[in-house]
Structure 1
Amino acid sequence: MSNSKGSAYGTPASDTSFRKNWDLEEYAAKAKTREAAEKEEAKARYEAKLAGKKYYKPLTGEETHTAARRNVLDLEANVGKTMLVPAGAGVGKRGRGAGFYCAACDLTFKDNIQWVEHVNSMQHLRNIGETGEVKKATADDVHARIEALWERLQEQKRAATTTLKERLELREEEDAKEREARRLKRLEDAQKRKAEREAAEKVKVEYGEDVRVEGEHDEDDMMAAMGITGFGGSKKK
C-alpha cells in the first residue's frame, strides 16, 4: 500500500524544496518604485498639458547627440506580405498592429507619412537614447571631415584605376590565348594537308602514273561490264 503522504518525486508532499522561493518584499519594493515613477510621469504629463507643451521623457544623462541617419527607411518592405496581429490591434496606435511598428515607443502607424514624422519626432529620439540636439561642429571637426572625405575619394580613384588596369591585363591575356589557339589550328591544318600530299606522292612513286583515283574509271568499268569495249572507229589501210 502506497504512502498517502508521498508524492510522485518520492518525497513527502509537504516538502517544497524543489520550488523557487519568491522574495515578496523585493517584488513589493519594485512594484512600489514603479508605481511612484508612473505617478511622477503622469504628474509631469498633466503639468505639461496645462502649460500647453508636449511632454517628453526626461534626460538621464546617458543620451547621445542626434546624428544623421545612416540607413535608409525601407517603406516598401512589407508590401504584398501577410502579417498576423493580435486581436484589437486595429484600434488606436498603442501596441503592435498591422502597419509600421516602432518597438521603442510601442506604437503602430498606418501610413508612411505618419511613420516618417514619428521617427523624426522628439518622442522617438528620447526613447532611443538621443537628446534631439545636434552637436555643433568646430573648425577642427570640419577640417577632419574634409580630410576624411578627400582620403575616401582618393581610395575610390585608386581602386577604380587598379580595377581598370586589371581588366586591361585580363583582356590582353584573353587575346593572347585566342591568337595562340588560332595559330595552333592553322599549324594543325597545314600539317594535315602536308601529310595528305606526301601520301599521294608516295602512291604515285610506287605505282607509277597508272594510279586509279577514286571515281576516275567508274564509267569505263561499267561499260566493260556491259560488254562494250569502246566506240572508236577502225582505220583503213
Structure 2
Amino acid sequence: MSNKSSAYGQVSGDTDFRKKYDLEEYAAKAKAREAEEREERKARYEAKLAGKKYYKPLDGSETLTTAFTKTHDFSKLIGTSTLVPAGSAVGRRGRGAGFYCEACDITLKDDKQFISHLTSVQHQRATGHTGEVRKATAADVHSRIEEVWERLQARKREEVVTLQERLQVRKEEEEKEREEKRRRRKEAEERKRLEKEQALKVKTEYGDDVRIEGEHDEDDMMAMLGFTGFGTSKK
C-alpha cells in the first residue's frame, strides 16, 4: 500500500476521514416508519369500510384554525403558462398540471377546488391545525373592527393623494398646452410683422408701381366695371 498523502491530507488507502453511519440507528428509524405506515394503512382501510373519510389523527401539537392572512389573486395567472415537469401525476396525488398544495401533496384542477381544499379538514390537519376555530371575545371583535377601520382610512388617504397627484399632473399639462398656444401665436404674429415690413421695404425701394398683395384690388375691380374714376365736374 502506498504511503502517499491524498488531496484531503490523508494517507492513500486510509478511509477513516469518511463519514460514519450508525446502521442500527437507521434500521430502527426505518422499522418505526414502516410501523407507522402500516398503522396508517390499517386506519384508512377501517375508515373506508365504515364509509368514512380518513384524516390524520391529532398528536397534541396542533393549533386552532385561524382566518386566512393572505388572499390568492388568481387573475394574475390569466394568459400565463406553467411548465409541468416530466413524469407529473395525472390524478390528484402528486404535483401536476393545476393548483398544487405542497402540504397535502395533491393537485387541484381549478381555483374553486383549491380554495375549497384550503378550508378542508385534510388540509387543516396537514398544516398543523385542529380544524376548530377559537371563539372570539369582545376584545377580539373590537380589535378587528379597529383594524378594518384603519385599513379603510388608509385606503381613503391613498385615494386622496392619488387624486391630488392626478389633478397636479392635469394642471401641468394644461399649463404646457397654454404655453404652446402662446408660442404659436407669437410666431404667427412675428411672421406677419416680418412679411409686412418686407413688403413696405420693397415698396419704398421700387416706388408705387410695386403691387403689394391686396393693395390695388379695389382699383382693378373698378376698371373691370368700366369706371375710370369718380372725378368732379367742378372746375
Q: Which residue of 2 aligns with 1:24?
A: 23
Q: Which residue of 2 aligns with 1:86?
A: 87
Paired letter, 2:57 = K
1:132 positional shift: 0.7
Q: Which residue of 2 aligns with 1:185?
A: 184
Paired letter, 2:67 = A
Which ranges of structure 1 fall in alignment gaps of 5 or more residues? 215-237
Mapped to 2, the partners of 1:51 and 1:190 lie a distance apart of 97
Point out the structure with max Rg over C-alpha. 1
Q: What aligned pairs does 1:44-63 form with structure 2 within 5 A after superposition?
A: 54-63=54-63
Change (3 A) 1:58 1:127: same
Paired letter, 2:135 = K
Mapped to 2, the partners of 1:78 and 1:171 lie a distance apart of 34
Residues 48 and 55, structure 1, Cα contact 8 Å, conserved in 2 = no
Residues 95 and 106, structure 1, Cα contact 8 Å, conserved in 2 = yes
**Structure 1 residues 64-95: Cα deviation after superposition (integer angstroms, max 9, x where no partner):** 423237333859879986734538x44x7544
Residues 103 and 127, structure 2, Cα contact 8 Å, conserved in 1 = yes
Mapped to 1, the partners of 2:79 and 2:197 lie a distance apart of 78
Mapped to 2, the partners of 1:104 and 1:79 lie a distance apart of 24
Q: Which residue of 2 aligns with 1:121?
A: 120
Paired letter, 1:63 = T
- Per the normalisation by structure 1, the TM-score is 0.65
Are residue 145 (structure 1) and residue 144 (structure 2) matched?
A: yes
Are residue 133 (structure 1) and residue 128 (structure 2) matched?
A: no
Residues 64 and 134, structure 2, Cα contact 8 Å, conserved in 1 = no
1:160 positional shift: 1.6
Mapped to 2, the partners of 1:27 and 1:159 lie a distance apart of 59
**Larger displacement relative to structure 2 (5-14 or 203-212):** 5-14
RMSD: 4.0
Paired letter, 1:59 = D
**Structure 1 residues 120-174: Cα deviation after superposition (integer angstroms, max 9, x where no partner):** 3212211112221112111111111112212222222222222222222222222
Paired letter, 1:164 = L
Which ranges of structure 2 fall in alignment gaps of 5 or more residues? 214-235
**Larger displacement relative to structure 2 (138-147 or 46-55):** 46-55
Residues 65 and 133, structure 2, Cα contact 8 Å, conserved in 1 = yes
Mapped to 2, the partners of 1:147 and 1:100 lie a distance apart of 35
SS class of match (1:132): strand
SS class of match (1:186): helix
